[in-house]
Amino acid sequence: MGTVIREQDLGALVVGVTLLGSGGGGDTGAFGRMLRRRLGAGELVLRDAGDVTGVSVSPIGVVGATSVLMEKLPGGGEFDAAVRAVSRWTGTEVTGLMSLEAGGLNGLTPLIAALDLGLPVVDADLMGRALPRLDQFSWAVAGRSLTPCALSEPSGQVIVVDNVDAAGLERAVRSFVAHTGGWAVLALAPTPVEAAAADAVQGSLSRALALGRAHAGLEPGATPAAVADGLGGRLLGTGRVEEVARHLIGDGGAAFGRGSVCVVDAGSRAVIRIETENEYLLALVDGTPVVTTPDLLCVLDRRTLQPIAVDAIRSGDEVLVLALPGPAWWRRPDRIIHVGPQAFGLACAPQLLEAS
C-alpha cells in the first residue's frame, strides 16, 4: 500500500513539508507550483518501502543556496542529468527515487523528478525534517557512505564525487555550487530499497501530508491551544516578536547566519527566545531551554496560521510558537549527537518532547 497524492492534496503537502522544515528548508512555494503543473489531473503514489522490491532507489534533492532558486530557475533537465550520471558511474540503473530531506522544498523535489523521469517514489528520506549539513543525512550517521554521488546544476554542468567522507563531500558540494549557479541537484548512488530504507526515516512524506491535512482542518480563528492540539504538538507561547537579531559567524568554513528571535507571550509575559541558524534550533522559555533539535520548532502567523521561515520573520509579527515531535529515528544517543543542539554549537543537552 502507499499514499496516493492528487491535485487537491498538494496544498496540504506543501504546508506539511514546510512544517517539517522547522523554519528552514527553503521556499516551498515555487516547487509546489511546479509540482501542481507536472501532476495536473494525474496522481502520484508514495510507496511504502516494504511494498516495493527489487528497486534501486536514489535519494535525490536540491543542495546549495535554495534562496537562489527564485532567481536562477531550474532548466528542467537537472534531475535527469544527475540520475543518469550516478547510474552511469555506478553501473546500476536508478529504478526508484526517495527524498534527501523531507522538510522544506526537498520534500517536493523527488516528486517532481519522479514525474519527470517516470520513476516510483519511496516514502522515506534521510533527515525526517530539514537540517543544514550533508553529514546529518541518516545514511552518514548510520555509517553508510554518501558517495558515489552526482551533482548537476542548471546550466548543464555535471560532476560525480566519489571516495570522500561526508565532510569532504560537503566541501566539494559547497565549492561546486559557489562557483556555478548557487544550487545543484544531488543524486546519491542507487541502492537496493531494503538497504536504503533501513537507514532512512520512513513515512516522512506521508507524515508531512498528514500534518498538512491537520493544518488544513484547523478552524479559522482556532485558539493557539487548539492549533497545538490539532498538529499534535506543544504550544510554547503566543505573542509579538520583540526582536530578531541576526549575525554571521564563521563556523569551520561553512558560514551560517546565527540569530535569535525573541517573543513575549501575550498572556503570561513569559520571554520566549529561539536560537536560529537555517532552522529554528533551540527554544528557551524564561531562560530555560525547553525544546531543541531534532524536535521541530515552528513559528506560525497568528492570524493566517501559515508557517514563518527563519529568514522571513520580523519584529512586530504576531506569532504562535509551537514544538512538534521530531523524527523518532534520531532519538538514540548515538544518533542525536549529530543533530542535537551541540551539533550546532549550542552548549545544551537535547530537550525533546515526550514521545507520543
8-state DSSP, 307 = B
Please give the size of the binding site for other proteins, defined by CB under 8 A: 21
Are 262 and 7 spatial neighbours (Cβ–Cβ below 8 Å)? Answer: no
Q: Closest by alpha carbon to 218, among 325, 319, 305?
A: 305
Among 14, 115, 228, 284, binds other proteins (CB under 8 A): 284
Cα–Cα distance between 247 and 243 in angstroms, integer? 13
Q: Smallest gap, in angstroms, from Cβ of residue 242 to other proteins? A: 5
Q: Which is nearer to other proteins, 171 or 240 (CB)?
A: 240
Q: Smallest gap, in angstroms, from Cβ of residue 3 to other proteins? A: 39
Q: Smallest gap, in angstroms, from Cβ of residue 264 to other proteins? A: 6
Residues 16-45 that bind other proteins (CB under 8 A): none
Among 289, 290, 311, 342, binds other proteins (CB under 8 A): 289
Q: Smallest gap, in angstroms, from Cβ of residue 278 to other proteins? A: 17
Q: Looking at 51-59, 142-150, 151-159, 285-293, which segment touches other proteins (CB under 8 A)?
A: 285-293
66-99 residues labelled b (16+ CB within 10 A) or e (exposed): beebeebebeeebbebbbbbbbebbeeebbbbbb
SS3 79: helix
Among 273, 278, 297, 317, binds other proteins (CB under 8 A): 273
Does residue number 286 form part of the binding site for other proteins (CB under 8 A)? yes
Cα–Cα distance between 50 and 217 in angstroms, integer? 30
Bridge partner list, 258: 247
Q: Which is nearer to other proteins, 210 or 264 (CB)?
A: 264
Q: What are phi and psi of 9, to 5 degrees?
A: -90, -15
Does residue number 65 form part of the binding site for other proteins (CB under 8 A)? no
Q: Which is nearer to other proteins, 194 or 242 (CB)?
A: 242
Q: What are phi and psi of 260, to 5 degrees?
A: -150, 150
Residues 225-244 that bind other proteins (CB under 8 A): 242-243
Does residue number 270 form part of the binding site for other proteins (CB under 8 A)? yes
Q: What are phi and psi of 236, to 5 degrees?
A: -95, -25
Q: Looking at 179-187, 194-202, 229-237, 269-277, which segment touches other proteins (CB under 8 A)?
A: 269-277
Q: Which is nearer to other proteins, 306 or 315 (CB)?
A: 315
Does residue number 346 form part of the binding site for other proteins (CB under 8 A)? yes
SS3 17: helix
Question: How buried is 43 (Cβ within 10 angstroms: 0-12 exposed, 13-18 middle, 19+ buried)?
Answer: exposed
Q: What is the contact surface with other proteins in residues (CB under 8 A)?
A: 242-243, 245, 247, 260, 262, 264, 269-271, 273, 275, 282, 284, 286-289, 346-348
